[in-house]
Structure 1
Amino acid sequence: MNDLKQMIIGVGACCFLLFLMGCGGMRKPAKQSQALPGIFPDYTDVTIPSNIAPLNFMIEGAEHIQARFLVAEQELLAVYGDEVIDIPEDDWQHLLQQTVGKKMQVEVAVWDEKHPDGIGYRPFNISVAKDSIDPWIAYRLIEPGYEAWQFMGIYQRELGSFCEREIVSNKTTTSACINCHHFDRRSAKRMMFHARGENGGTIILDQGQLKKVDPKKMGPQKGAVYPAWHPEGRYIAFSSNTTNQTFFGQGRQPLEVYDRASDLILYDTKENQVTADNRFLNEERMETFPAWSPDGKWLYFCSAPAKKLPDERKEMHYSILRVAFDSQTGLLGEQVDTLYNARMEGGSASFPRISPDGRYLLFTLADYGTFPIWHNEADLKMIDLTTGKPVNVDAWNAKDQTDSYHAWSANGRWAMIASRRLDGRYTRVYFGYLDANGKAHKPFLLPQKDPRSNTLRLKSYNIPDFVDGRVDMPQEVVELFRCPDKLIQ
Structure 2
Amino acid sequence: MKTTRYTRCRSGAVLSLGGLLFLMTACAPKTPKENSSEAPAIFPDYKNVVVPCNIAPLNFMMDGASRISADFFVGNEKLFTVSGTNTIKIPKDDWQDGLKQARGKQMRVSVSVWNDQHQEGVKYRDFQITVSADSITPWIAYRLIPPGYVLWKSMGIYQRHLENFEEECVVSNNENHDGCVNCHSFQNYSPERFLFHARGKNGCSVLVQNGVPERLELDKMEPHFKGTYPFWHPKGRFIVLANCDTHQAFYGHSNNKVEVYDLESDLMVYDTKEKKVITDPRFTEKQYWETFPAFSPDGKSLYFCRAQACNIPKEYDKLKYALLRTDFNEQNGTLGSRVDTLYNPATEKGSVSFPRISPDGKYLLFTESDSGTFPIWHKKADLKMINLATGERVNTDALNSSDVDSYHSWDQKGKWIIFSSRRLDGRYTRLFIAHFDEKTGFSKPFLLPQKAPVQNNERMYSYNIPEFVSGPVDLKESVADLFE
- Equivalent residue, structure 2, for 1:40: 43
What residue identity is the alignment partner of 1:81?
G
Q: Does 1:309 align with 2:315?
A: no
The answer to whether the 8 Å contact 1:135/1:467 transfers is yes
My pick for the range that moved more, 251-260 or 115-124, is 251-260
TM-score of the two chains, using structure 2 as the length reference? 0.95
My pick for the range that moved more, 251-260 or 416-425, is 251-260
Q: Does 1:299 align with 2:302?
A: yes
Deviations 1:415-450 (A, max 9, x none): 101111100100111101101315111011100000
- Equivalent residue, structure 2, for 1:110: 113
- After superposition, the Cα gap between the structure-2 partners of 1:14 and 1:114, relative to the gap in structure 1 and judged at 3 Å, is farther
What residue identity is the alignment partner of 2:303?
Y
Q: For 2:54 and 2:108, how far apart are their aligned partners in 1?
A: 18
- Equivalent residue, structure 1, for 2:166: 163
Q: For 1:374 and 1:184, how far apart are their aligned partners in 2?
A: 28
Q: For 1:106 and 1:383, how far apart are their aligned partners in 2?
A: 35
User: Alignment partner of 2:479: what SS?
Assistant: helix
Q: For 2:170 and 2:342, how far apart are their aligned partners in 1?
A: 36
User: Alignment partner of 1:476: what SS?
Assistant: coil
Q: For 1:176 and 1:311, how far apart are their aligned partners in 2?
A: 30
- Equivalent residue, structure 1, for 2:214: 211
- After superposition, the Cα gap between the structure-2 partners of 1:476 and 1:283, relative to the gap in structure 1 and judged at 3 Å, is same
Alignment of 1:403-482 (within 5 A): 403-437=405-439, 439-482=441-484
- After superposition, the Cα gap between the structure-2 partners of 1:438 and 1:272, relative to the gap in structure 1 and judged at 3 Å, is farther
User: Alignment partner of 1:279: what SS?
Assistant: helix
User: Alignment partner of 2:441: what SS?
Assistant: coil
Give the drift of 1:21: 2.5
What residue identity is the alignment partner of 1:20?
A
- Equivalent residue, structure 2, for 1:129: 132
- Equivalent residue, structure 2, for 1:20: 26
The answer to whether the 8 Å contact 2:352/2:366 transfers is yes
The answer to whether the 8 Å contact 1:362/1:383 transfers is yes
User: Alignment partner of 1:368: what SS?
Assistant: coil
Give the drift of 1:16: 5.0
Which ranges in structure 1 are unaligned for 5 or more consecutive residues? 1-8, 483-489
Q: For 2:208 and 2:342, how far apart are their aligned partners in 1?
A: 33
Deviations 1:15-60 (A, max 9, x none): 65445335xxx32110000100000000000000000000000001
Q: For 1:274 and 1:322, how far apart are their aligned partners in 2?
A: 20
Q: For 2:17 and 2:156, how far apart are their aligned partners in 1?
A: 59
- Equivalent residue, structure 1, for 2:232: 229
Q: Does 1:249 align with 2:252?
A: yes
How many percent identity over aligned positions? 51
- Equivalent residue, structure 2, for 1:80: 83
- Equivalent residue, structure 1, for 2:73: 70
Q: For 1:134 and 1:167, how far apart are their aligned partners in 2?
A: 18
What residue identity is the alignment partner of 1:476?
S
What residue identity is the alignment partner of 1:444?
F
What residue identity is the alignment partner of 2:374?
F
The answer to whether the 8 Å contact 2:211/2:473 transfers is no
Q: Does 1:289 align with 2:295?
A: no
**CA RMSD of the aligned region, Å?**
1.4
The answer to whether the 8 Å contact 2:191/2:471 transfers is yes
TM-score of the two chains, using structure 1 as the length reference? 0.94
- Equivalent residue, structure 2, for 1:6: none
Q: For 1:208 and 1:58, how far apart are their aligned partners in 2?
A: 39
Q: For 2:76 and 2:309, how far apart are their aligned partners in 1?
A: 61
User: Alignment partner of 1:455: what SS?
Assistant: helix
- Equivalent residue, structure 2, for 1:193: 196
Q: For 1:120 and 1:126, how far apart are their aligned partners in 2?
A: 18
Aligned residues: 470
Q: Does 1:322 align with 2:319?
A: no
Q: For 1:366 and 1:476, how far apart are their aligned partners in 2?
A: 39
Give the drift of 1:84: 0.7
Give the drift of 1:152: 0.8
Q: Does 1:141 align with 2:144?
A: yes
Alignment of 1:268-279 (within 5 A): 268-279=271-282
Q: For 1:432 and 1:96, how far apart are their aligned partners in 2?
A: 17
What residue identity is the alignment partner of 2:26?
L
The answer to whether the 8 Å contact 1:176/1:481 transfers is no
Once superposed, which parts of structure 1, at least 4 consecutive aligned residues long, lie more than 6 Å away?
Answer: 9-12
Deviations 1:117-155 (A, max 9, x none): 000001111101111100100001000110111111111
Q: For 2:433 and 2:40, how far apart are their aligned partners in 1?
A: 21
Which ranges in structure 2 are unaligned for 5 or more consecutive residues? 1-14
The answer to whether the 8 Å contact 2:176/2:200 transfers is no
Give the drift of 1:253: 2.1
The answer to whether the 8 Å contact 1:40/1:451 transfers is yes
Deviations 1:44-95 (A, max 9, x none): 0000000000000000121111111112222112111111100000110110
Q: For 1:82 and 1:18, how far apart are their aligned partners in 2?
A: 21
